[in-house]
Chains A and B, each alone.
Chain A
Amino acid sequence: MYKFLTGFMFWISVSIFFIGLFVRFILYFKGLDWRLDRVAYKAYPFYGIKGALKSVFKWMIPFLTHGWRQQSFMTIAFFAFHIGAVIVPFFGLAHNIFIRSKICISLPFTLNQLTTDILSWLVIIGAVMLTIRRLVLPQAKILTKKSDYFILFLSVAPFITGLCARYEVGNYLFWLYFHIICGEALLIAAPFTKLSHFVLFFASRIQLGMDYGIKRGGMKSKRGINW
């Protein structure tokens, strides 16, 4: 069982994840059309890149944009959830050892156990906050579909089960297998659901950044659009 999950299924899910997301990213940019989108993407590389970088990076820092500042609860929930969700799978202690065993590459640094635990807990707390938000705020409630809860659940499940295994709640092997299955399900689902935002977030922000950088004022105002 362990062998199947960490062998065949591991390679399948990782391949689907990376190839799928890579394809989606490439297809996005191939599908951009300067005439339909009305942005001269290629004519002004300097302004395009400048706008794109700003559009991506400003949104990756808590409270740096007007949007984040306007919604502090959301910002805290979002970053609590995402910092761990992005970092732990790569740099979490157990994962790092596992990755080394698989591809013989050791990632540049490893989080110690305490940090891994804290980040994982933050993911869960963040997810609870995001869920509460959806249940309580009318502006989020009206948009929410069942699938949004499902995706949120799919996203935290590896962290919940991971922590259960780590603390050896009941049967360690049960939680470990469960954890691996959840993680692989997440990897497989990513390219086909809104989880594709792992890459399409960047694609979309790059596009809008270029739009503002090239066409909508980026060449006119010194600081460009103030996200």
Chain B
Amino acid sequence: MCSGKLCSKEPVKTKEQLRTLLKDTSGKLYYKQMQDLEVDTDLLWKTIRTTLKSRIKTWLEICSRCGMCAESCFFYLANDKDPTQVPSYKIQSTLGEIVRRKGKVDNAFMRTTMDVAWGKCTCCNRCAMYCPNGIDTGAMFSYLRGLLYLQGFVPWEMKIGAGMHRIYYAQMDVTDEEFIETFEWIAEEYEEDYPNLKIPVDVKNADILYTINAREVKHYPEDLAYAAILFHLAGENWTVTSKGWEETSLAMFAGDWEACKIQVKQVYEAMERLKPKRMIGTECGHAHRATVIEGPYWMGRKDGKPPVESIHYVEWIAEALRTGKLKINPEKRIKTPVTIQDSCNYVRNGGLKDITREIIGYMVEPGYFVDMEPNGENNFCCGGGGGFNGIGLYRDWRNKGFTIKRDQIIKTGAKLVLTPCHNCWDAIRDIEEVFKMGINWSFLKPLLVNMVEIPESMKPAS
């Protein structure tokens, strides 16, 4: 253990630190060291005094303690209506208590608070829709995560994730070179079927700048190929950037606001350098939330918008199908019972529910689509949001929480769940792994690639 402490208030800033942290399997030693981590109560109170203003202060104060938010939280429902899972209780017994004690809390308190902030809330914001006073408990938990991060009380995987963004400007150890190489290599693999399939890198003034989730480079390079194929078939003038290509932000889940800024700055600089007409992000919910919805504020942009118009992948698909840039072969439409997981991040918190329904109108044979109940902005979290999927420490809690989504899916009778969100995709995969319901799940890209018509001019010469 040459580099000393694994668990400290310091963010991970070097590759060396990252390596030692990763070597500590499941964070065993990390969590052990956390038991001795001192709480800097002065810093805690000072941070609260400078950042906890009207909005959150009032939320904490006017909560009428009515419990109307209880039934809105999937944790509460999944845990047999355990009253300690009521959103108001969870936030009042953690953040509320820290504020009431003016920051004077001890190590044990902070560790329990960490368990609640990451293990009993996915920041899905559903409860905000059900509180008569307009109290957004998810937003408060996100704030609380920031306080905990500054004190070093953060799950091992989150600490690593935020560190990745600080070092690689990506959620995983994927370098800029690896990104471009992988993208070009996988496109070559498909070139036989799609002649002239190219990856335009750093093209200025393109119509579209495409940004991605680093996992695609590492684990699902086909997804990159599908994106290239669809842009190619739609005849789009698109590009990727060799720097600032990562749209996601585990730093947001970690509450590492400094790293959030470091990450999104890369993307905005790419936009400013390449001056595309629009930015389109991949099928990821939290990436859209981070780079398009919250990012402008981290960067202090007064208009609350990224430097160029930025949209989610589903918005592009809907547009391409609407305008006929992409045409679906009616024979190939989905003819199995199918449902969709409405992502909290771009549906409840991004207003895109109608867009996905429009896409379904094109992709699914009439009569085969069944909505979950509830759906749209009222949908329950998939059960793995806010970083929850990735945290080993809370695996059992997560699997318990999954029962709500499982039952929602079973009720639809669907055999296929559309998941245009990386986190939701993972969650549905894990639900299937745990409960073996015999369902499939998929992003939209792979389905589309098999469904769209290839214009004569683009077909391989036979």
Are A and B bound to each other? yes
Chain A residues near B392 (CB-CB < 8 A) = none
Chain B residues near A50 (CB-CB < 8 A) = none
- Rounded to whole angstroms, the CA-CA distance of A194 and B303 in the bound complex is 34
User: Is B62 a contact partner of A201 (Cβ separation < 8 A)?
Assistant: yes
- Rounded to whole angstroms, the CA-CA distance of A133 and B64 in the bound complex is 13
User: Is B92 a contact partner of A143 (Cβ separation < 8 A)?
Assistant: yes
- A3: interface (CB < 8 Å): no
Chain A residues near B376 (CB-CB < 8 A) = 226
User: Is A74 a contact partner of B68 (Cβ separation < 8 A)?
Assistant: yes
Which B residues from 128 to 174 make CB contacts under 8 A with A? 128-136
Of the candidates A133, A141, A197, which one forms a contact with B62 in the assembled complex, judged by CB atoms under 8 Å apart?
A: A197
**Nearest chain A residue, comparing its CB with the CB of B297:** A38
Q: How far is the CB of B243 from chain A (nearest CB, A)?
A: 26
User: Is B134 a contact partner of A140 (Cβ separation < 8 A)?
Assistant: no
A contacts with B: majority SS:
helix
Of the candidates A78, A197, A201, A214, which one forms a contact with B304 in the assembled complex, judged by CB atoms under 8 Å apart?
A: A214
Q: How far is the CB of B236 from chain A (nearest CB, A)?
A: 21
User: Is B133 a contact partner of A197 (Cβ separation < 8 A)?
Assistant: yes
User: Is B53 a contact partner of A36 (Cβ separation < 8 A)?
Assistant: yes
- Rounded to whole angstroms, the CA-CA distance of A142 and B82 in the bound complex is 10
Of the candidates B70, B72, B302, B351, which one forms a contact with A224 in the assembled complex, judged by CB atoms under 8 Å apart?
A: B351
- A59: interface (CB < 8 Å): yes
User: Is A204 a contact partner of B134 (Cβ separation < 8 A)?
Assistant: yes
User: Is B378 a contact partner of A32 (Cβ separation < 8 A)?
Assistant: no
**Nearest chain A residue, comparing its CB with the CB of B127:** A67
User: Is A140 a contact partner of B65 (Cβ separation < 8 A)?
Assistant: yes
Which B residues from 47 to 102 make CB contacts under 8 A with A? 51, 53-55, 57-59, 61-68, 70-72, 76, 81, 83-84, 86, 88-89, 92
Say whether, besides A208-B136, A216-B351, A66 and B303 are in contact (CB < 8 Å). Answer: no
**Nearest chain A residue, comparing its CB with the CB of B55:** A37
User: Is A215 a contact partner of B293 (Cβ separation < 8 A)?
Assistant: yes
- B300: interface (CB < 8 Å): yes
Say whether, besides A67-B68, A216-B351, A142 and B83 are in contact (CB < 8 Å). Answer: yes
Which B residues from 111 to 135 make CB contacts under 8 A with A? 128-135
Say whether, besides A145-B65, A148-B65, A139 and B70 are in contact (CB < 8 Å). Answer: yes
Chain A residues near B352 (CB-CB < 8 A) = 217, 220-221
Of the candidates A143, A208, A226, which one forms a contact with B65 in the assembled complex, judged by CB atoms under 8 Å apart?
A: A143
User: Is A43 a contact partner of B303 (Cβ separation < 8 A)?
Assistant: yes
User: Is A205 a contact partner of B134 (Cβ separation < 8 A)?
Assistant: yes
Chain A residues near B136 (CB-CB < 8 A) = 208, 211
- A40: interface (CB < 8 Å): yes
- A-B interface contact total, Cβ < 8 Å: 163
Q: How far is the CB of A77 from chain B (nearest CB, A)?
A: 10
- A27: interface (CB < 8 Å): yes
- B17: interface (CB < 8 Å): no
- Rounded to whole angstroms, the CA-CA distance of A197 and B58 in the bound complex is 9
Chain A, interface size: which category?
Answer: 35 or more
Q: How far is the CB of B8 from chain A (nearest CB, A)?
A: 26
Per-residue B-contact encoding for A30-60, CB less than 8 Å = 1, 0 else: 1111111111100110000000000100010
- B42: interface (CB < 8 Å): no
- Rounded to whole angstroms, the CA-CA distance of A226 and B374 in the bound complex is 12
- Rounded to whole angstroms, the CA-CA distance of A220 and B57 in the bound complex is 29
- B272: interface (CB < 8 Å): no
- B353: interface (CB < 8 Å): yes
Q: List 24 A-B contacts (CB under 8 A).
A: A31-B53, A32-B54, A35-B297, A36-B51, A36-B53, A40-B297, A43-B304, A66-B378, A70-B130, A71-B71, A139-B83, A143-B63, A143-B88, A145-B65, A194-B63, A205-B133, A208-B128, A217-B348, A217-B349, A217-B350, A220-B350, A221-B353, A225-B348, A225-B351
With A201-B134, A225-B348 already in contact, 17 other A-B pairs whose C-beta atoms are closer than 8 Å: A34-B302, A38-B297, A40-B302, A44-B304, A59-B134, A67-B129, A74-B66, A139-B67, A143-B65, A148-B64, A194-B64, A204-B134, A205-B134, A208-B136, A220-B351, A220-B355, A226-B377
List residues of A whose CB falls within 8 A of some B CB: 27-40, 43-44, 55, 59, 66-68, 70-71, 74, 78, 133, 137-145, 148, 194, 196-197, 200-201, 203-205, 207-209, 211, 214-222, 224-227
List residues of B whose CB falls within 8 A of some A CB: 51, 53-55, 57-59, 61-68, 70-72, 76, 81, 83-84, 86, 88-89, 92, 128-136, 293-294, 296-298, 300, 302-304, 347-355, 374, 376-378
